[in-house]
Structure formats: C-alpha cells, structure tokens
Chains A and B, each alone.
Chain A
Amino acid sequence: MIASAASAVGDVLSSEAMYQSAMRFAIVLAFAAVGEWIAERAGTLNISIEAMMIGGAYSSAVAWGAFDNVPLALLIGVLMGVVVSLVQAHLSHQLSIDQFVVGLTLNLFVLGLALFLDSRWEAVTSVVKPTKVPLLHDLPLVGEALFGQPWPMYLIVPVVPMAWWLVFRTRWGLEVRSVGDNPQSADVSGIHVNRRRREAIMVAGGCAGLGGGVLVLGQISIAGYEGGHVGLKGIIAIAAVIFGGWTLRGTLIGCVLFGYFFALQQTLPVLGYRINAQLAASLPYIVALLVTAVFATRTRQPRALAQPFVRGLT
C-alpha cells in the first residue's frame, strides 16, 4: 500500500504532463488571485471574482469565435470583467449594500446569463498553439511547463510585477492599503475611501476577466465555453489569497498549490492510476478548506476586510 502510494507520488512528480497541466491551472488562478489580492488589500472580500471570471471566459470565447483574433478576444474578456466589477463596486461601495449579498447575486446572475446566451450564441473556439521557447523548452520535466505554454499564459509574467508595483510603489497603492487597514484614518487624511475601494475592485475585475479569457483560450483540453467551466475557480483564488496571508508571494504559491491539485484530477487517470472520480474532482476544494483552516489565523489580514465604510459612523 505504502509502496504503491510512493510509486504513485514518484510517477506524478516525474510526469512532464503533470507539471504542464498544473502550471496552466496555476496561471489561470493567479490572474484572478492577483486581482482579488488587490481588492482585499483595499478591504473588500470580493466573492464576485467568480462572476468576473465567468464573464471574461464567456465573452472571450464568443469574441474569439467571431473575430478569430486572440488579443482582441482577451481584451474583450478584460472589458467584460471590468463591467461586472463596476456593478459590484457601485452597489457595494456607493450604495453600501452588503458586499456578500451583491457578490452572490452577481455570481448567480452572470452564471445564468452566460448559460442563456451560450444557448443562443454558442462559443466555438479552437486552441491557441503552444509557443515553444527555443532550447529552454527542452529542459527535462519543467521545460514544457515553463516554456511551452500558449502565449496568453505568459501575460502573467508582466501582470504580477505590475500589481506589486501598483500596490507598493505608487501613491494609489499606498492609499489602497490604508483604506483596507484603517478607513477612518484614511478618510480623515483626505483619501476618498470608497472611491479607492471601487477602483481596486475594478482592477480585480480586469485581472479576473483576463484570467477567464486565458482559461478558455489557453487550456488545451477544453474548447469553447461550458456552463460550469469556471467552476468556483474564483473562490479557489480567494482561498489562495487567504493561504498567502494577504501577501503577493504567498498568494502565488497558493495558486501553484491549488493548480497542482486541479492537475492531479486530470493527469492521474492518464498515468494509469484509478482514483475515485468524485474524490479527484473535489480534491482542490477539500485542500482549499484544510489550507485556509491552517493559515487563516496565522497571518495578519487587512484590518477592515469586509467592513463597509460609511462616513460618520464607526
């Protein structure tokens, strides 16, 4: 039993396909998680990140089918993510409606809308061919994973440092962090708290929309948009932020971890291991539960996380 488990682990660790698949899931998660990280630093526990991903995924898929132009499709995905985020931002941080209520309703709305529209305008897509970086992609094990992905995946490379720079090296980022930690003080020092929070949500929407687009355009195994296809990946991205203790580096590590478990479900049958289908499918979610349980208390979260700000009230 133990020996066979050990050999299974060995097979998985030495499988090139496994690394490639895990990397793909991790990158898709990372787009959404980076956006969610910014929104949470500003004090919003933004569960409609799921809706933003779905919006991006469906509109990118449709746009690709219509125009056959990948950059345009991704751009439309980003725009759709921003549109969804505008609704979330204004309802929750202008009208001060409970952010979870808005988020949940938006998630159901966008999921239903995409399903309905898909029944009329079915998104038919082909697959973006992997770009192989010469030489490097011949590296053993991780070569394919790191240097042989479809090109939209590589957009994560500029997105992450840009997010870091935005949050830690600009005035806007400083203000975002301050409204997430102490909105009252930020308000007194002249920062427009709810406007910063709205902007942070919009950045999250753009990132998540891009993530949705990359999910549809970059995955080899899936063509077109399917209803349940984003399948709570947005929520997993939130779990990655919690796992990462609201730091960018930790969030990315969380994405790789969850990406690995998503990949297990795909690759284990290919490697010839029989694993219970339901267990395999729910593995990333179970891991997310366990991991957040372990890490949620250890780290310092933005102090005003999920607390609405209304001037004059404490």
Chain B
Amino acid sequence: MSSNEPAVSLDRATGTSATNGPRMMRGAKLVALYVLAIAVALALSALLIAVTGGPWRKVFTALIDGSIRKPGRWGDTLAESAPLLIVALGAIVSTRAGLVNIGQEGQLAVGAATATYVATQGSGPFVLVLALLAGVVGGAVWAGIAALLRYWRKVPEVITTLLLVFIASQGTGYLLTRTFLLLDDDPNKPNRVQTSAQLDADTRIGFIRIFGNAFPWSVVLAVVLAVLVSVLLSRSTWGFRLTVLGRNPRTAQRIGVPVVLAGASALMLSGAFAGLAGATMLAAGTANFRYTPGFANNVGWEGLLVALVARNRPLACIPVALVFGALRTGSGFLAATGVERSIVDVVRSLLVLALLVPPAVAAIQRRRVSPPPAPVSTDEPVVAVAR
C-alpha cells in the first residue's frame, strides 16, 4: 500500500462497501441505542436519588433552572463550558496520536499557577496575554515530563500523567505557602488563608453582555480553537501524520513521520491546552481572580470526559461541553433540594459510561455483517507492512 492510499480507509464512514439501505437501518439502530443508553443512565440516577430518600424530580428541575432557565444562568453555563471545551480539544490531539493523556487535571492546575505568577507581576492587557502564554507553557511542561518518560524510558503515559496529577495538586499547594511564589502578601488578608493575590481589573478577560447574561471572551476563543483543531486535524499534514501515528506507529515510521517528535509534541500540546484552560479560568474570574487550593475543581477530568463522549471529534465537543457545563452550573442550585452536589458527578459519569456502549455495539454488529473477505476493518489500524 502506498503512502497516499491510507486516507481512504482512515475514514471510518467509508470503511464498508454496503449499500445505502442497511446503512440507514444501522444509523437508525445506533440512534435508538443512544436514546436507550441515555434513558437508562438518567433512570438509574433518578433511582439512586429516590433510594437515598431525595426528591428526584426536584433535582432534575433544579439542574435545568440552574443551568438555563433562571435569569443570567446560561451566560454562566457558557463561561463554565469554555475551559471544558479547551481541555477536551487538547485530549483529542493526544488521543489522535495514540497517546492516553489522562492528567489534564494536573496540567490545568500547573498552567493556572504559572499564569497566576505572571499575571500578578504587573497589570494591563499585555500582561494578560503573557499570563495566558505562561499557562500554555506551564501545562505543556507538565505534560512534557510524561512525554519524556514515555519516549526516553518507555513508561506508559497513562500511569505517569495520573501520578503527575497528584504531584501537581501538592506542588501548587506548596507555591501558595510562600509569598515570593504565589501567596498573597497583603497584610490586610485574613491570616492563614492560602490564596494568591487578586488579578488587577485590567488584567482580566473582558465579558460579553447579551440579554442580561454575561460570559467571558474565552468562550469565543474556545470555539475558534475547536474549529481550528478540527480543520488542522482533518486537513493538514500535521493532522494526517498524527492520525497515522495513532493508528499504527510502524506504518507512521515507514512513511517518514518522526515518531518521537510527533508523539511528544502531541502530548505536550495536549498539556498546553489544559494549561490554557486553567489560565482562562483564572482570568475569567473562577475563584474570584485568585489562585486557590483546589482551583482545578475537576475541570480537567470533566474536559477529558467531554472528549470521550464526543468520540474525539473537535466540533462534537462543543455541544457536549455545553451539556457538561450545564451540569456544573445546575449543581449550584441543588442545595435547595437537600441532595448533595456530588450527585452530579454520579449522573455525569453514568451518562458517559452509557454513551460508550452504543458505538461499541454498533461496531461489533458491523463486523458480524461484513462478509468474510472483509475490506480493511473500520476499527483497526491499517497494516501496511508485512510482518
């Protein structure tokens, strides 16, 4: 197989040569499976709330009230969704290269911390840009440690990125204990409160106000990035190389992809996105424009889940990020129902688990119906080289 041909079989949709009829049937089945999966996940959540003695109807109403229905809430939802989307885009880049980066939570924390350090050194829009860049660098460096271990010592990046999450939370916690690092040295500050100094008013990200809703510019940035990543991954040489690398490293090497360079840079880029997400959260007023302990607040994990649910398609991440952002803002309204906020974590991960199943079932059925001398299977790496 020449190096030009894999493009055809890399496209999942064109993998089988079935006619239109069965394909439409299959599509309908897939949609039905998705609906069923979501229904099961929601029903299980409702059951769980009911079993623990909570009013499940009120919980779902509160989630909708808190995320879109009450005045000013959808702006907040947009603001919450932006960092999730940015994190998810980064996750897609590394997954595309066949690397499993699951340490976004740590990369985000480190990015936010470095951004805080830069942003509190001065003020003005120029400092803001520098701070965002610092976030990018911070996240990239943190992911770079995992990349180094992956390509130099062959340690699985799954393990290292996870371990680095814990180290990041402790490490940034340490930064908040020293005034020459991040700790606020304002003498009026209540004692023993470990937060960084606040960002100056003109170092913050501006807000867009429409219909009584306000959301930061970072929302626009996130959407632009989504389009950019989508185009670059599907249309550029870089995207093609990453795809080949992810599908089959050996083929990638044969067609001249610098495996180590491409893989390490994809992992670092993925960390850079997480770091950028952290920096935008800081400058858009999460935690009141300060860096605080527990700043990342699960945004890294949830952004990663967004990418999983969107099945690694950048544009599909936009609606998924909105849903996940809505769960975040909606959870703020749960206190009135007397149900713990953490139910939202359960609902979210149940949804994700349920959404993993339909495409997998569909893939198995596709394999079953395809005739024995099957064309290159749709889910497997293209094997171009004889063993």
Which residues in A have some Cβ–Cβ distance to B below 8 Å?
45, 47, 87, 91, 95-97, 100-102, 104-106, 108-109, 111-113, 115-117, 119-121, 231-232, 235, 238-239, 242, 276, 278-279, 281-282, 285-286, 288-289, 292-294, 296-297, 306, 310, 312-314
Contacts and interface: CB of A to CB of B under 8 A. Distances in A.
Contact of A281 (B53, B149, B170, B383): B170
Interface in B155-186: 155-156, 158-160, 162-167, 170-171, 173-174, 177
B170 A278 contact: yes
B153 A297 contact: yes
A108 B349 contact: yes
Given A119-B340, A293-B149, A285 B364 contact: no
Contact of A232 (B100, B162, B348): B162
A115 B48 CA distance: 13
**Majority SS of interface residues in chain B?**
helix
B360 A242 contact: no
Given A102-B356, A109-B349, A289-B149, A117 B52 contact: yes
B158 A285 contact: no
A312 B375 CA distance: 12
B28 interface: no
Contacts of A100: 100, 102, 158
B361 interface: yes
Contact of B342 (A112, A232, A279, A310): A112
B308 A294 contact: no
14 contacts: A91-B356, A95-B361, A102-B353, A105-B356, A112-B345, A112-B349, A113-B346, A116-B52, A232-B166, A235-B163, A238-B159, A276-B174, A278-B171, A285-B170
A100 B305 CA distance: 12
Nearest to B100: A100
A293 B174 contact: no
Given A95-B361, A120-B53, A292 B159 contact: yes
Nearest to B177: A278
A113 B348 CA distance: 11
B16 interface: no
Contacts of B304: 104
Contacts of A121: 52
A97 B345 contact: no
Contacts of B165: 232
A116 B349 contact: no
Contact of A45 (B154, B158, B308): B158
Interface in B80-133: 100, 102
A231 B158 CA distance: 16
Interface string B260-301: 000000000000000000000000000000000000000001
Contacts of B343: 116
Nearest to B298: A108
B213 interface: no
A109 B357 contact: no
A87 B349 CA distance: 13
Contacts of B377: 312-313
B68 interface: no
Nearest to A96: B360
A102 B346 CA distance: 15
A235 B360 contact: no
Contact of A108 (B171, B301, B383): B301
A288 B305 CA distance: 26
Interface string B347-376: 011101100110011011001000000100
A105 B163 contact: no
B202 interface: no
Contacts of A286: 167
A101 B379 CA distance: 16
Contact of A296 (B154, B163, B167, B383): B154
